[in-house]
Structures are given as structure tokens and as C-alpha cells.
Structure 1
Amino acid sequence: MTEPDLPIAAVPTAAEISGALEALLLMADEPMTELVLAEAVGAPETVTREALEALATFYDETGRGFELRRVGGGWRYWTRVEHAGVIAAHVVAGQNAKLSQAALETLAVIAYQQPVSRGRVAAIRGVNVDGVIRTLLARDLVEEAGHDVDTGAAVFATTQLFLQKMGLVGLDDLPPLAPHLPDVEDLEAELSALAAPVVELVPEPVPTADPWTDHQNDPETDHQNDSVPAGQDASAAVPAGQDEEVRA
């Protein structure tokens, strides 16, 4: 006696699992991978991916206030950028704790140099970064990713939350740094200017006035001296009567 053949379960279509996918994504607080979603709805990954892409296209074409986006290796709902002002004014006004400029610079160094040690980050920025890295660890934007093989110091890398906040699928989507760096010619010119010797200009000394020399060169004195014949006493040139008047 042969056993009856069991019916083969039909593979669900993308349209059939769309509603279940929406429900799962609405309750998710982080991106869900296609594998997790496929297992949850009992469909192959290819069908699940097809359904997700169809939902994303549907939301875009119908102008919904949200979109389905693939970020951080998974899928998640996001509000649209054009409605950010309304959301900020109504829900999150004054509640966004923004990162400081120092934290943003440190996060950028870790993102482009990861895995990187604390000392290397401090050397690049030129300041102590202990407090800033503690802040980034508390925000779950960076995490320890092992130890340096040479020094044994802990090294840091960005997290999945960082990719989500930045709207990136992976680190390969980070914008290139080359357009933001100075040209080689400009950099060489700046280095040459810094290396040029500094010429100190010493002011010329101001000549000091000599009262005796000035007296000798005084036109009035020269005129009086010229009126007395050479070899004659100046008092002898005064008439006798005038001398008596002066003495009287």
C-alpha cells in the first residue's frame, strides 16, 4: 500500500505577502533584513525582495508621507524629507541632542580610518578625544572592534546605527574625500610659504643732535664771527663809548 502524495505548498506571491511585510516593518524599531522578513512571512527571499521593491515603488508613485528604504543591510520606513519641518515643529522640536563639532570631526575620522585606535584619532585631530569617544560610544555610533596588533590598544569602528542615521547601505557609500582636499599645487605653495625664511627689517639709527656742532653751524653765530677780523679780540671791536654805557 503506497502512501498518498502530500500536497505541495504553493509559493506565495509578492502581492500576497505585501500586507504582512507592511505590518512587520511598521512594528520594527530597526531595519529588518530580507532573510528575517522572508522567514517571517514564509516566502523565498527573491519573492520577499520583489514585494519590498514593489511597496517602495508604490509609496513613491502615490506620494505617501513616508517611504520604504533599504539602509544598513535591511528595510525600514522613513518619513520623507519634505515633511521634516512639520515633524520637527510638532514632535521633536527641542528634543534633538545634536553632536558637537568636535564629536562630528571625531566620528568622521573613525568612519574613514576604521578600525582606528584612540591615539591615532587624537594624532589626526591634534587634541585629546577621550571624552568625545565616550560620547560616541554612549550614542551607539561607534563601538570597539578589537585591538591593534602592534600596540594592543583598542580600536574603534562605526556601528549599524551610524549607517542608519547617515542613510547608507554600507561603508562603501561614504562620499569620497578627494573633492574636499586641497590640490597638490596649492598644498606645495602653502608649505613653501611656511618654510620661507623670515627676514627681519632693522630700522636705521636716528642721528643724535650735537649741540656744539649745531652751534658751529648756526648762521647767526657764523655772521657774528665773520664781523670780527681775524686775530682781533671780539671786545676790541666794540666802540669805547658803547663799552662805557654797557658798564654803567
Structure 2
Amino acid sequence: MSTADQQDTGTGADAPVSAAALRRGLEAVLMVVDQPVPEYELARAFDRSVAEITRVLEELSREYTDQDRGFDLRRVADGWRFYTRPECAGVVEHFLKEGQEVRLTQAALETLAVVAYRQPVSRGRVSAVRGVNCDGVMRTLVLRGLIEEAGHDSESGAHLFRTTNYFLERLGLRDLDELPDLAPFLPDDIEGFDDTGEQAT
């Protein structure tokens, strides 16, 4: 492969990333993250300045809006991430609720298991058990009608979640007592985490 090809694809060990490859790379990274990524982290990853990364992200965001895409690249408090456009929310919700052929991902199944055995439980504690941010997966499970809010934690004020009757129906169970005895396999030190998923001091 020529030096020019390496620069354009970004595959060269020390080759600078071209403008086109930078745009592709940013899209690829932001497509797989489950939480917003700050500009400085992207700048470090691509060896570019924060100002350049911000400029490219803003350009991409405007392009998606001008092209009337179903997704939006948005800057939030913690960084940048792709989001479904608000006008498409109804279609997405219908797909998640009614799509008979849509199966839960492994991440969703693991998250649902944690809620089932630790309910009522906060997002932070679910994330602590799984070791990754579970906000997006939790929203999907709520939309699918498998979990629901169950009040707030009296100390932290965090939202608590539990499984629904629909969850029991889908599993063919009469109540939660019929769940297989898997609780011993979950971490015993989960209570050592606060409701943001941080280790309690």
C-alpha cells in the first residue's frame, strides 16, 4: 500500500489522518459508544487539536440536519454522541414495542437479569454489576415494557427499576419466586456501590 493510501485510510503507523479519514473515523467511533465522548478524548485518539475536532463534529452535525437524516450528532454536557431525532421517536418506540422479530441483545439480556434479581435497583447499580454504562439498554427495556420505574431511592434520590408483569408473561412465570436461583452468581459487593455506579467510600 502506498503512503498516500495509508494517509487516506489512517492505517499507517505514524501517518497523519486525512480530512476525509478523520470524518469517517469520528463517525465510526461515535457510532459504537454508549455515552457521550468529550472533544479532548477524540482529539487525543486522532492526534488532532480540540479546535479541529470540534469544527469537524459541528460540520457533520449540520450536514446530518441539512440531509434530514433520522439521527442527529449532538453535543451534550459530557461530549458528543449520536441520537435519534425527536420526530422519529414514535417510529423507534413502535419498532421496539411491537417488532415481533426483534430479539434482545446479549447486553439487554444481561441487564434484564440484573434488574430481575436485584430489583428494585438503580441504573448506577446495574451499570456497576455489568461494568459498563447501561443507560441506553435500560431505556430500551423500558420501551419494550419489560422493566418500569419503581420509585426513588430514599437516600440518593436515584430512580429505581423493577420488572413488569409483561416480563413475567414473556417468561411464563406466575411471580418472581419462580425465577431460577441465579442470584448467588451476581456480585455480593454490589451494595458497595452508590447509585451512580461509583465505589462507595
Under a length normalisation based on structure 2, what TM-score does the superposition of the two structures give? 0.45
The higher-RCO structure (CA 8 Å, 6+ apart) is 2
CA radius of gyration, larger in = 1
